[in-house]
């Protein structure tokens, strides 16, 4: 990558957002807050100092879904035949050549309904794909609030059964479109539920561990890096600036990180990830936002060591802040 970088990108699964639908809150680019990613991208990325909103080109696939075609990647047929990496750098994450390269990599988990944003074999090795990346994806898609949104949207398990969200005081699933089933022995869970609808009071059943949050953040980071590959190819995604992130994602270096989750959720029907690369206060930054049916997670691929006090002071809306 060059000396300047201000690329923005958006990857989305689901129908485009209409004007009437709510968007996730966004911070001003260059503000130093947890995430200032907005739609737009294209071309080769460049680092730049952002004092305010910067210009960026819109991604060619913004607002629609696409599958990364085999013709988009050189020598992919040879990679399939020889079970080798497409790139001399090896696997996108472990940078090795001995992990097998026969499986596709879903940028967004299949559990979120993704069948379109897929990297072909030869980019991510089977060992990373079926190991740490799978663990991260499951930590994210099995998080109870996300499971509930998956269930409401009728996304089944791989066995074709309804997805059930298990909370500390209830199990919730949809038996059919619009038919909510709540299994609970707790009167508190359903005390605000009337025959025509109402509000559930659900608990997590205990504190959520730093290990869980770390795995969820790794799922966001790995998806963002894979979108960098889709946007900018090997030149952008194998840049050394992302090397410590790679090791962190596969659990071979680094444990620090953070996520911000707005307390207000406006449900919708798509999954979207935005990232933007820039300098913030003299540091290279890559803020990212993953929006899963309205459940939003903000983080940064490069500035993973931010302190909780700083994050809270630069977050302009009520939010949960998780630092691990």
Q: Stretch 85-104: mean pLDDT, rounded?
A: 96
* DSSP one-letter code for 109: -
pLDDT 10s digits, 16-28: 222 233 333 333 3
Q: How many alpha carbons fall within 13 Å on the CB side of residue 198?
A: 12
Nearest-angstrom CA–CA distance, 132 and 117: 19
Q: Which residue has the higher pLDDT, 187 or 112?
A: 112
Domain boundaries, the chain: 8-138+209-323, 144-199
pLDDT 10s digits, 149-197: 888 787 877 667 767 766 666 676 666 665 666 666 655 544 444 555 5
pLDDT 10s digits, 29-38: 334 455 553 3
- The alpha carbon dihedral of 246, 248, 254, 259 has a sign of positive
**pTM of structure:** 0.75
Residues 245-265 as b/e (b if ≥16 CB within 10 A, e otherwise) read: bbebbbeeeeeebbbbbbeee
What is the distance in angstroms between the CA of the first residue and the CA of the last residue of the chain? Answer: 30
pLDDT 10s digits, 306-316: 999 999 999 99
Question: Backbone phi, then psi, for 197, in 5-degree steps?
Answer: 130, 180
> What element of type H or E holds 243?
helix 243-249
As a three-state string, the secondary structure of 245-285 is HHHHHCCCCCCCCEEEEECCCCCCCCEEEEEECEEECCEEE
Nearest-angstrom CA–CA distance, 222 and 247: 11
For the sheet with 164-166, list strands across it.
164-166, 171-176, 179-183
Residue 15, pLDDT > 70, answer: no
């Amino acid at each position: 990558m060059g000396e300047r970088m201000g690329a923005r990108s958006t990857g989305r699964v689901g129908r485009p957002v209409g004007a009437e639908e709510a968007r996730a809150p966004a911070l001003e680019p260059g503000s130093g807050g947890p995430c200032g990613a907005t739609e737009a991208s294209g071309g080769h990325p460049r680092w730049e100092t952002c004092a305010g909103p910067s210009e960026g080109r819109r991604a060619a696939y913004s607002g629609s879904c696409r599958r990364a075609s085999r013709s988009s990647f050189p020598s992919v047929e040879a990679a399939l035949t020889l079970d080798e990496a497409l790139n001399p750098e090896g696997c996108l994450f472990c940078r090795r050549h001995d992990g097998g390269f026969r499986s596709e990599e879903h940028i967004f988990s299949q559990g979120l309904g993704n069948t379109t944003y897929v990297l072909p074999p030869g980019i991510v090795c089977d060992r990373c794909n079926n190991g740490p990346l799978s663990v991260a994806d499951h930590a994210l898609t099995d998080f109870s609030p996300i499971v509930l949104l998956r269930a409401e949207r009728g996304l089944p398990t791989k066995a074709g059964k309804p997805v059930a969200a298990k909370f500390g005081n209830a199990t919730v699933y949809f038996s059919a479109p619009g038919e909510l089933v709540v299994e609970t022995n707790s009167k508190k869970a359903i005390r605000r539920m009337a025959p025509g609808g109402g509000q559930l009071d659900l608990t997590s059943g205990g504190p959520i561990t730093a290990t869980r949050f770390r795995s969820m953040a790794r799922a966001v980071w790995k998806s963002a890096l894979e979108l960098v590959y889709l946007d900018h190819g090997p030149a952008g995604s194998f840049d050394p600036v992302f090397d410590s992130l790679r090791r962190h994602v596969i659990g071979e270096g680094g444990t620090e990180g953070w996520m911000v989750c707005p307390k207000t959720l406006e449900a919708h029907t798509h999954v979207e990830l935005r990232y933007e690369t820039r300098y913030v206060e003299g540091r290279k930054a890559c803020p990212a936002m993953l929006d899963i049916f309205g459940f939003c997670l903000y983080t940064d691929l490069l500035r993973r060591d931010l302190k909780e006090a700083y994050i809270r002071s630069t977050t302009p809306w009520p939010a949960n802040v998780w630092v691990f």
